[in-house]
Amino acid sequence: MAKTTWTVDTVHSEIGFSVKHMMISKAKGTFEDFSAVIEANPEDLTDSKIEVTIDTASINTRNEDRDNHLRSADFFDAENHPKVTFVATDIKKKSDSNYDVTGDLTIRGTTKPVTLDVNYEGQSKDPMGGNTVAGFSGKTKINRKEFGLTWNAAVETGGVLVGEDVTINFELELHKQD
């Protein structure tokens, strides 16, 4: 299959994260507004163009006060840094359906290389519209402080309110463009 353009079906896709909360549990959330430019052969991603843009103000942890704090200058500073971006720079095939996708992740104006562990979940024809659809899932872990997300507070029992390591995970359904 030749390299083609794919668009994200945001209704059937999700970009999420989890981080240690109060040293005893995890806080989880998603970004509700994101887009991607993907030119790829989904059966062999090694020569793909992948660019993802996330609207930081679209963060949703199911807690309005926390979401507003995450949008503030203490964390994402969404007013001054409205987007998180990822641009792939190198893609290595590890198996028939698994890849290391390395790229530049930019959060709050700081760009660092990260590697995503990406799984190709397969293709299908959408019975509702006849489109060719491909599925991908993946994850990575970053240290939020390396991207300027440094706010924290001590908890009475020792430790801090928010962990440093953030797991980013995603499920993407892509539609082939003719």
d(CA 137, CA 70): 25
* pLDDT tens digits, 1-17: 578 899 999 999 999 99
Residue pair 123/97 in contact (Cβ under 8 Å)? The answer is: no
> pTM for this structure?
0.88
Strands (E), 78-131: 83-95, 98-107, 110-125
pLDDT tens by residue, 119-172: 999 888 888 888 889 999 999 998 878 887 665 555 555 654 566 778 899 999
Q: For the chain, which domains are there? A: 4-176 (2.40.128.110)
